[in-house]
């Protein structure tokens, strides 16, 4: 079955392809589906934003769609960048954003953080499944690792002493917020069959 990922984020699409193609889905990006729009993320929660994006693409295609909204919530920054993770300090490169966060936190031991991912899956018939995954961890004291994307080089998941960038994609795909949400989604998809 063809499944459109309602995103233009290459790192996110790569993760979804690696995970969902194992379950028989023909995963394509929004761009590969010929859709050149950005759905405004005007929701007040990850769930609302995921739903807005999925419904927007579904209305255009009537094809199965998966959308997520995810972000990094840092206790010391009052939950920020949170919903605005992708748009946080948009004038900066991602590496500069990561460094900005480390600079803001340089004098604190309160490094608790979590990645959150809400997924909305819409079937061809319009039926929806919604799930959420949370990966708790902490913010590192320096940028570490070359792999991954976004805030991966500064996030150390609980139970590890390396950042998402250092542990590698295969391991990340087992423990990340997105992986947790996808596991729940897959269980719900299996129960549908």
Positions marked catalytic: 69
Concatenated DSSP letters for 134-160? EEEEEE-SS---SSS-TTGGGEEETT-
The answer to whether 27 and 16 are in contact (CB under 8 A) is: yes
Q: How far apart are CA 4 and CA 59, in angstroms?
A: 12
Neighbours of 60 (CB within 10 A): 17
Residue 181 burial (10 A CB sphere; 0-12, 13-18, 19+): buried
| Number of other CB atoms surrounding residue 95 within 10 Å | 10
Angle at 124 between CA 21 and CA 56, to 5 degrees: 95
């Amino acid at each position: 079955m063809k499944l459109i990922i309602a995103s233009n984020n290459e790192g996110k699409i790569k993760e979804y392809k690696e995970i969902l193609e194992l379950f028989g889905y023909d995963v394509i990006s929004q761009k590969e589906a010929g859709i050149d729009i950005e759905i405004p993320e005007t929701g007040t929660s990850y769930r609302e934003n995921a739903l807005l994006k999925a419904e927007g693409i579904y209305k255009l295609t009537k094809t199965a769609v998966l959308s997520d909204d995810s972000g990094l919530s840092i206790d010391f920054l009052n939950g920020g960048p949170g919903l605005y993770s992708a748009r946080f300090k948009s004038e900066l490169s991602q590496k500069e954003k990561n460094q900005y966060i480390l600079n803001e936190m340089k004098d604190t031991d309160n490094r608790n953080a979590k990645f959150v991912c809400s997924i909305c899956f819409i079937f061809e018939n319009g039926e929806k499944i919604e799930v959420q995954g949370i990966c708790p961890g902490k913010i590192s004291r320096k940028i570490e690792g070359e792999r991954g994307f976004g805030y991966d080089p500064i996030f150390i998941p609980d139970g590890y002493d390396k950042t998402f960038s250092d542990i590698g994609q295969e391991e990340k795909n087992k423990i990340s917020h997105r992986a947790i949400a996808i596991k729940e989604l897959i269980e719900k998809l299996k129960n549908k069959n």
